[in-house]
Amino acid sequence: MMTRVWDQLLQRVQSWPDEAQDELAEIVAEIEAEVKASPYEASPAELLGVERGLRDAAEGKFASPEQVEAVFAKYRR
């Protein structure tokens, strides 16, 4: 099944220069190789982090709007 966005993009790609089409084909091939590779397995440390996050969420531990804004302000360009 092809999404509408992908279908529209492929139609536009046909008008691209050959070099650009080849570059896209290489990128798609890399992604395909990753998708076909064995499924991702989280490390024990990552699993602990997920468990901690789920536990914190269950306990209602969320950043305040002010804390979130402070982080965005710090990294906003």
10 & 31 share domain:
yes
Integer CA distances (angstroms), 5 to 1, 14, 28, in order: 12, 15, 15
30 & 52 share domain:
no
Helix (H, G, I), strand (E, B) or coil at 40: coil
pLDDT in tens, 2-36: 788 989 999 999 999 999 999 999 999 999 998 88
Per-residue model confidence (pLDDT) at position 34:
86
Full domain range(s) for residue 10: 4-36
Per-residue model confidence (pLDDT) at position 13:
93
Domains in the chain, number: 2
pTM over 0.95: no
Single out the residue of 13, 11, 12 nearest to residue 21, CA to CA. Answer: 13
30 & 10 share domain:
yes
